[in-house]
Amino acid sequence: MKAKEIRELSPEEIDKKLRESREELLNLNIRKGTGQVENTGRIRELRRDIARLETIKLQKKA
């Protein structure tokens, strides 16, 4: 998800995306532990998306 797309979201939508992304990351990490993840690049992508969401969320509060 691009930063520009995130900035267009409302704070509630950002919170929802954060919850969904964290949940997906948790599931991927669990599956990675058992060797069931095919696309390991998705984990990196999710971590970056979460960081972007958190950063923009803090910027909107200020």
pLDDT (0 to 100) of residue 24: 97
* pTM, entire model: 0.90
- Domains present along the chain, CATH in parentheses: 3-61 (1.10.287.310)
Higher pLDDT, 61 or 14: 14
* Contact yes or no for 9/27 (Cβ under 8 A): no
Q: Is 10 left (phi over 0), alpha (psi -120 to 50) or beta?
A: beta
Q: What is the pLDDT of residue 62?
A: 77
How large is the average pLDDT for residues 32-43?
A: 91
